[in-house]
Amino acid sequence: MSRKFTVAHTAAIVAALCALLILISGALETTAASLTPPFSGGLVSAAGHTGAGEYVGAVLLALLILIALKESALRGLAFALAAIVAMEGFLGSQGLATGSSNALGLLHAVLAQVLVAGTFAVVIATAASWREAPEHVADYGWPSLRSLAVVLPVLVLTQVFLGAAFRQHVAGLMPHIIGAILVAMLILIVCAFTLQQCPTHAILRASAKALMLATFTQIFLGIATFTVRVMPKAGAGPVLGFTAGHVAVGALTLAASIVLSMQIRRNVVPKGTILPQQAPSSQSSGPPQQG
């Protein structure tokens, strides 16, 4: 059996935490600048975010290169994430030099969340459990889990984009609210199908539950963020805390959707595939009604 913590897996965990730290720093800086009057102090400032981006970003870049050298199967993904880190640094420097435009800020914000989600995907792909043989279960029903696994991360990323567009004043709040309702419904459907079709599959159940937890937390933080922003006497602390939390959990929701999709595509085989006799069956009770 593979060691639980390899060099690449440990590096991936630290890289994911670094990416999340930079994201939170950026969310705090953007939110503080949007307050009336603007709030600034310590790490909650442009200088604080720049420092986090430079020093933590350098560590993140080094870790991704290390992962690329250690894991040939993940080399393309690791280098792509390293390119995003470099692009984030360039966009940040351009924003400081010229004054960040809404479009530039939007790209910067979306790439930061993609970076967090990507590093968490690397954490899963470098884990010892990923090196073991998958525990296959058969797909059935309509729409299939395998097809939903392709659609889910795309729509969650779209919702992340709408949230960033609102924060960067590129779009209004209503598209983000409508998107949140639709994406939350899709997440619940995919997770319910997963739990119903694969009741004995530990990895798929854990991945589905993690995504539901992230989604419910994100909905709560979204409501809380809107509430404190419209309260006339709300201090800077609650606004900064809830907004930064909403941004961070949004990235974690995207990461959880990618992880669930990875596990579905790995463990759920297409409908009609004959499973080996030794593979545990999760269909003893028959296909559930999805119509």
- Three-class HEC string of the chain: CCCCCCHHHHHHHHHHHHHHHHHHHHHHHHHHHHCCCCCCECCECHHHHHHHHHHHHHHHHHHHHHHHHHCHHHHHHHHHHHHHHHHHHHHHHHHHHHCCCHHHHHHHHHHHHHHHHHHHHHHHHCCHHHHCCCCCEECCCCCCHHHHHHHHHHHHHHHHHHHHHHHCCCCCHHHHHHHHHHHHHHHHHHHHHHHHHCCCCHHHHHHHHHHHHHHHHHHHHHHHHHHHHHCCCCCHHHHHHHHHHHHHHHHHHHHHHHHHHHHHHHHEECCCCCCCCCCCCCCCCCCCCCC
pLDDT, residue 233, reads 72
Distance CA 82, CA 119 (A): 10
pLDDT, residue 33, reads 75
pLDDT, residue 85, reads 95
pLDDT, residue 270, reads 84
- Block means of pLDDT (10 residues each) for the chain, 291 residues, are 77 96 89 71 70 89 96 95 93 67 85 96 94 86 89 96 90 93 96 91 95 96 89 77 93 97 92 59 46 37
pLDDT, residue 66, reads 96
pTM of model > 0.75: yes
- Report domain extents, the chain: 1-132, 135-285
- Which of 218, 92, 200, 68 is closest to 156 using CA atoms? 218
